Amino acid sequence: MKLDQQLLQLIITIIIIVAALSFTLYKVIKKIKQPVAGCNGCASDCGGCELKTLKKDIDEAKLKKSK
């Protein structure tokens, strides 16, 4: 009986660790692919926002590349 409980605890622990690592990896990949997506919905006027300038530069580079 004790072995069954230990096995169940081990399986649950592995599932939790895999879920946490998957979520972390998902967030990191999402942040790498879209670094300035965090600006969407910002309450600031973005007058001096460096991310806004970076996003503009990236969009301009994409337009030049697609032409």
Residue-wise pLDDT tens digits, 4-60: 999 999 999 999 999 999 999 999 998 888 766 555 655 666 566 677 777 888 888
Nearest CA-CA partner of 56 in 39, 32, 43: 39
The whole model's pTM is what? Answer: 0.51
pLDDT of res. 56:
80
* Whether the Cβ atoms of residue 54 and residue 34 lie closer than 8 Å to each other: no
Q: Give the Å distances, CA to CA, from 12 to 8, 23, 28, 45.
A: 6, 17, 24, 46
Nearest CA-CA partner of 58 in 66, 44, 18: 66
Of 25 and 64, the one with more pLDDT: 25
Residue 63 has pLDDT above 80, yes or no: yes
